[in-house]
Amino acid sequence: MKSGLLGAGLGVLAIALPSVASAQAPAPCAPDQTADVQITTKDPARTGRDRSLYATHEVELAARVQTDASDIRLTPEPGVTVFDHGSNGKHLDLVVPARPSVALTASWEQPASSNPGETARCAASRTLTLPVVQATPPALRLIDRGAPHAAQYVVAFEIKAARRGQAMEPIELTLRRTSQPRLPSRRAKALRWSIPMRAGERKRYARKIPAFTFGTSLANACRYWYLSCGHVLGRVMAMDVHRSPDRTLAFSQPSRWAAPFGIHVEVSPMGRSPRRFGFDIQARQGGRLLARYRRAGECRDAPGSLGGVVQDCTIVAVQNFPR
């Protein structure tokens, strides 16, 4: 009996609450009373405010209503990815869609009359349309492109973005490798790494890993940080605002940081002499192939003409895309 009475009471309460809330909702403002609103924009990866909106970029939006407004809300058109809805019209964080424009609706409550003695409020809204500029593919640079054939056992390349309106979708890396002096087959197991370029796509990890410093052991570097170890070494660094390699990214926590200014990738043979290797490193964005570099060969330690040890390599395969 007690449980039945409790359920009945909750049912009455559930019916009563909506009617109270609806009675308190303000009436719509008259069109001639609706205040103007401005929407400010900020692209975290580009300096300055109210710059052009580039498709695929993350942008922070805020609504500024030209009156004593409260309960301000910003709502994008359907289908737009939102990272953070913010509060009271501040810092709506979203991904700019790949369309000619994006519509945003600002809604709020404001005084119903310009008479200071009246306290009644009304509900208002306006829809604004902001133009969108289509993003361009990131810039690509293969380092030491003109190196002698025997020295092309190392692949180092950079994918640069953000500063000039390049696309900001995640960069998808795929690495296949073999311990033989031949190119790996398509069926070889691949290491895959999705590197976010937009800060809103970062993931927070409860588990901490050892910091990457000059004193980091190879064991820890391989366990937590490097994309690949063993017969092929692969590592990835985020570029800084000046487009220089700045911070090693952790493969064990691939979305701990974003790389809005691009990435620096290095792949090379590793291990004891002789180092027999083959690898295929690919970079894609939004399904589009940005870069693909393939190498195979054998490297041995040899005495240098000026002392020390140098690499003596026989390269059997060098393939570059783009050339």
Summarize pLDDT for 201-233 with one digit per residue, the tens. 999 898 899 999 999 999 999 999 999 999 999
CB–CB of 176/192 below 8 Å?
Answer: no
The confidence band for 11, taking pLDDT boundaries of 50, 70 and 90, is very low
Share of the chain above pLDDT 70, in %: 93
pLDDT score of 19 more than 80: no
Domain 26-133 has CATH 1.10.3470: no
pLDDT score of 15 more than 50: no
For 93, the enclosing helix (H) or strand (E) is strand 92-95
Stretch 49-75: mean pLDDT, rounded? 93
Instruction: List, for residues 273-321, the tens digit of each pLDDT value.
Output: 999 999 999 999 999 999 999 999 999 999 988 888 988 999 999 999 9
pLDDT of residue 23: 55
Which of 282, 222, 218, 215 is closest to 252 using CA atoms? 222
Average pLDDT of the chain is 90
pLDDT score of 3 more than 60: no
* Domain locations along the chain: 26-133, 139-204+215-321
Question: Rounded to an integer, what distance in angstroms lies between the CA atom of residue 168 and that of residue 165?
Answer: 9
Beta-strand relationship, 139-142 and 121-133: unpaired
pLDDT of residue 242: 81
- How buried is residue 159: exposed, middle or buried, by Cβ count under 10 Å (0-12/13-18/19+)? buried
* 266-300 exposure pattern, b = at least 16 Cβ within 10 A, e = fewer: bbbbbeeeebbbbbbbbbbbeeeebbebbbbbbbe
Instruction: List, for residues 95-149, the tens digit of each pLDDT value.
Output: 999 999 999 999 999 999 888 888 899 999 999 999 999 999 999 999 998 899 9
pLDDT of residue 145: 87
* 58-78 exposure pattern, b = at least 16 Cβ within 10 A, e = fewer: bbbbbbebebebeebbbbbee
pLDDT score of 21 more than 80: no
CA torsion through residues 42, 47, 49, 50, sign: negative
